[in-house]
C-alpha cells in the first residue's frame, strides 16, 4: 500500500490557500485517477484506489496543519504501512511558484506539518513532493502569505505546481526517486 498524503487545513476559509497546496495536489490526483469516494477515518479523509496494479491510499489529514502527523500515523497503523510507503505533498516557501522538488528525508524547513509528521512517525525519512509557493513580498508576514490565496496573476502558477506534484507522485510510483528527481527537479 502506497500512501500519498497532502497537507493542508480543513474548512472553506482555507480552500485553495498556498498552505493547502498538498490538499489541492491530492485533489488533482484524485481527479486524474477518477476517485470520487472519500471516507472519514483515523482523523483524515481517505480514498482507496489502484494505480498500475498497486494499492494506493490518498490522504488529507483533517486536523490543522500542525497536527497532521497524528492522523497520518493512525492511517499508517490501520494499513500496516511504514514511512517508506508514504509520500507527503506540501507547500514550500523556498521554491518558486509553479515548480516542485522531490526528495527523500532531510530537514523540516520550519514547516509545522512536517514537524508533526516527523514527531509522530519518529523519522524524517519519507518521500516529499514540495510545491513551490515562493516567499511573501515586502514585509508581509509568512503566516499571511501561506494562508492567502494566490491572486489572478499567480493563480496559474499555483495550479501548475499542484498538477506537477500529482503527476510526480504517479511517476515516482512507476520510476522511483532518482528518475523522478531527474524529470521534475
Residues that are catalytic: 19
Element (H, E) at 54: strand 54-61
The count of residues in the chain is 185
Rounded Cα–Cα distance for residues 162 and 156 (Å):
10
Rounded Cα–Cα distance for residues 111 and 86 (Å):
17
Cβ contact 100:53 at 8 Å: no
Grid cell, residue 49, equals 484506489
Cβ contact 14:24 at 8 Å: no
DSSP string, 117-146: HHHHHT-S-SEEEEEE--PPSTT--HHHHH
Rounded Cα–Cα distance for residues 54 and 104 (Å):
20
At which residue does the C-alpha cell 481517505 appear?
46
Amino acid at each position: 500500500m502506497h500512501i500519498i498524503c497532502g497537507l493542508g487545513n480543513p474548512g472553506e476559509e482555507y480552500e485553495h490557500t498556498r498552505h493547502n497546496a498538498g490538499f489541492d495536489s491530492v485533489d488533482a490526483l484524485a481527479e486524474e485517477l477518477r476517485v470520487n469516494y472519500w471516507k472519514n477515518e483515523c482523523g483524515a479523509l481517505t480514498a482507496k484506489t489502484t494505480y498500475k496494479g498497486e494499492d494506493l491510499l490518498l490522504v488529507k489529514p483533517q486536523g490543522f496543519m500542525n497536527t497532521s502527523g497524528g492522523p497520518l500515523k493512525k492511517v499508517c497503523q490501520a494499513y500496516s504501512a511504514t514511512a517508506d510507503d508514504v509520500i507527503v505533498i506540501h507547500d514550500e516557501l523556498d521554491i518558486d511558484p509553479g515548480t516542485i522538488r522531490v526528495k527523500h528525508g532531510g530537514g523540516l524547513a520550519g514547516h509545522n506539518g512536517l514537524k508533526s509528521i516527523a514527531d509522530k512517525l519518529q523519522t524524517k525519512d519519507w518521500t516529499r513532493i514540495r510545491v513551490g509557493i515562493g516567499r511573501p513580498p515586502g514585509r508581509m508576514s509568512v503566516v499571511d502569505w501561506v494562508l492567502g490565496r494566490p491572486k489572478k496573476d499567480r493563480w496559474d502558477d499555483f495550479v501548475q505546481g499542484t498538477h506537477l506534484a500529482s503527476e510526480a507522485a504517479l511517476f515516482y510510483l512507476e520510476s522511483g526517486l532518482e528518475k523522478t528527481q531527474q524529470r521534475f527537479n
